[in-house]
Amino acid sequence: MGRLFGTDGVRGLANADLTPELALGVAVSAAHVLSERSGGARRTVVVGRDGRASGEMLEAAVIAGLSSAGADVLRAGVLPTPAIAHLVAELGADFGVVLSASHNPMPDNGIKLFARGGHKLADAVEDEIEARIGETWTRPTGAGVGRARDLPDAGERYADYLLATLPCKLDGMRLVVDCAHGAASAVGPAVLTRAGAEVTALAAAPDGRNINDGVGSTHLAGLVDAVRRTGADAGIAFDGDADRCLAVSSDGEIVDGDAIMAICALALREQGRLKSDTLVATVMSNLGLHHAMRDAGIRLLTTPVGDRYVLEALREHDLSLGGEQSGHVVFAERATTGDGLLTALQLLGRVAGTGASLAELAAVLQRLPQVLINVPVADRAKVATAPGVVAAVDAAAAELGDDGRVLLRPSGTEQIVRVMVEAPTQHAAEAIAGRVAAAVAAG
């Protein structure tokens, strides 16, 4: 079996891959490992989830596991993943657990763990937790058994924290907000309304089965239509656990994570808060972001794909802003992880503070046409060094020069190599990507 923990916790088909037994085992092991790493004292753990039906079952299993291992549980209920990270830090809890599969379809679910302070666990800690699942241990009895209680003001605490970061009130701004029938369905519209906006909420009626079902940040057509139809100033889309945010301008154009990062980087630099005048983004961010930042005198530091790598770079280099094209944006001075609501407030606050429209602000980023082709291969690890592939990539790079780029990225889980090409025109991007993909397929 491969590694249980992926790039964002444990994830799988609920009650098939991710069973209550596995959830209980992960919880027990996490309680043991994290307790031992901090002196063996009795632990306090914040537990939250998104609205999937399977979350009720898995939450019960996790709480049972934690309590049986002697940890006390604060049950936050249905809240965004970043809310749990924040509450771990604010309440001084020892760690946090979130039951969510983010933007995945409803049948999936996941377990995400946050260490003290609301930070994601290091790989070595996850490996230790995984290795110790099912080990023999002495169970506490009597007063040693952990207790569980609700945290009724969890949402209010999170909302108050978010609103304290708002750079400018959103008075008079008309918004359409797509909550993906997810964890932000209640708190998202409420926070934006308290910020001063007039909010029309879409996909904000979770029933346990409809999360991410044709809505949210991975399905923007409905939000685009609603913004155009209502004449709203902007649209905001969250995913199921609201750790990412995408936007739509008043003319119905999508403002992705790259554009959001460009707008916010310029705002932070203007305020003297963009540390080292540097933005962190992954290799999948559009070359247009590189050009926009270069022209603004801002350095762009690139990482592999995955918000954990963005977080690592932010911490290692003591930087303040980073993220992904998908809408995971991390304001490191404000949060320990990507937070869709925090991102929305910073973005919309910039709109309100400048008096410019979202479209005008997003125009700083001129996206290059981008083509992505998934190529099945026999051995993804060897493709990049195959002579025919090297020759094709070198030829493409020479043809594109500074006006484009070619990137090969092996999948982390499948025998697939992703060929990404950016070029000045869509036709050129498609033609070059096709040639490189053919070379990759030939091996």
**What is the rounded average pLDDT of the residues 330-353?**
97
Mean pLDDT of the 288-303 span:
96
Are residue 14 and residue 90 in the same domain, yes or no?
yes
The residue from 303, 334, 362 where one domain ends is 362
Provide the pLDDT for residue 285.
94
> Is residue 237 domain-shared with residue 354, that is, in the same domain?
yes
pLDDT in tens, 364-393: 999 999 999 999 998 888 888 899 999 999
Distance (Å, whole) CA 311 – CA 201? 31
3-state secondary structure of 434: helix
Q: What span, in angstroms and rounded, lies between the C-alpha atoms of 247 and 71?
A: 40
How many helical (H) and strand (E) elements, i.e. helices and strands, does the chain have? 14, 18
CA separation for the pair 354, 101 (Å, rounded): 36
Query: Which helix (H) or strand (E) element contains residue 268?
Result: helix 257-270
Same domain, 358 and 377: no
Contact 288, 423 (CB under 8 A): no
Of the candidates 103, 126, 128, 123, the residue with the CA atom closest to the CA atom of residue 338: 103
Same domain? 80 vs 64: yes
- Spatial neighbors of 19 by CB under 8 A, at least 6 apart, are none
pLDDT at 243 over 60: yes
* Secondary structure (H, E, C), 290-341: HHHHHHCCCEEEEECCCHHHHHHHHHHHCCCEEECCCCCEEECCCCCCCCHH
Is position 378 within any domain? Answer: yes
Q: Would 390 be classed as within a structural domain?
A: yes
Is there a contact between 144 and 90 (Cβ–Cβ < 8 Å)? Answer: no
| pTM beyond 0.85, yes or no | yes
pLDDT for the residue 413: 65
Element (H, E) at 281: strand 278-282
**What is the rounded average pLDDT of the residues 272-299?**
96
92 shares its domain with 192: no
Q: Which of 39-43, 124-128, 181-185, 383-387 has the lowest mean pLDDT?
A: 39-43
**CATH code of the domain covering residue 41:** 3.40.120.10
- Work out the burial of residue 172: count CB atoms within 10 Å of its CB; fewer than 13 is exposed, 13-18 middle, 19 or more buried: exposed
The model's pLDDT over 307-332, given as tens digits with 9 standing for 90+, comes to 889 999 999 999 999 999 999 999 99
3-state secondary structure of 248: strand
pLDDT at 2: 57
State the average pLDDT over residues 195-218. 97
CA distances to 50, 166, 280 from 320, rounded to whole Å, are 28, 16, 9
Instruction: Looking at the structure, tell me whether residues 215 and 334 fall in a common domain.
Output: yes
Residue 325 within a domain: yes
* Cα distance between residue 146 and residue 139, in whole Å: 11
Are 351 and 378 contained in the same domain? no
Query: Do the domain assignments include residue 159?
Result: no
Contacts of 134 (CB under 8 A, 6+ apart): 25
**180 and 298 both lie in a single domain:** yes
**Range 286-300 average pLDDT:** 96
Instruction: Write down the pLDDT at residue 256.
Output: 97
Tell me: do 64 and 106 sit in the same domain: yes
Domain check: are 324 and 409 in the same one?
no
pLDDT digits over 36-53, tens only?
Answer: 876 667 899 999 999 999
Give a yes or no: residue 2 inside a domain: no
Joined tokens for residue 140: 């506490």
Confidence tier at 360 by pLDDT (50, 70, 90): very high
Over its C-alpha atoms, the chain yields an Rg (Å, rounded) of: 22
**Residue 35 confidence (pLDDT):** 83
**Predicted confidence (pLDDT) at residue 144 exceeds the cutoff of 90:** yes
User: Would you state the pLDDT for residue 402?
Assistant: 87
pLDDT at 40: 65
- Is 112 found in the same domain as 143? yes
Mean pLDDT of the chain: 95
Q: Which of 119, 152, 185 is the endpoint of a domain?
A: 152
Q: Mean per-residue pLDDT for 174-185?
A: 98
Catalytic residues: 102
Looking at the structure, do residues 217 and 311 belong to the same domain, yes or no? yes
State the residue range of the domain holding 91: 10-152
pLDDT class for 339, splitting at 50, 70, 90?
Answer: very high
State which of 90, 121, 152 marks the end of a domain: 152
Which CATH number fits the domain that encloses residue 411? 3.30.310.50
* Residue 1 counted as domain residue: no
109 phi, psi to nearest 5 deg: -155, 175
In this prediction, residue 1 has a pLDDT band, given cuts at 50, 70 and 90, of: very low
Structural domains in the chain (count): 3
The answer to the question of residue 400 being in a domain is: yes
In a domain, 320, yes or no: yes
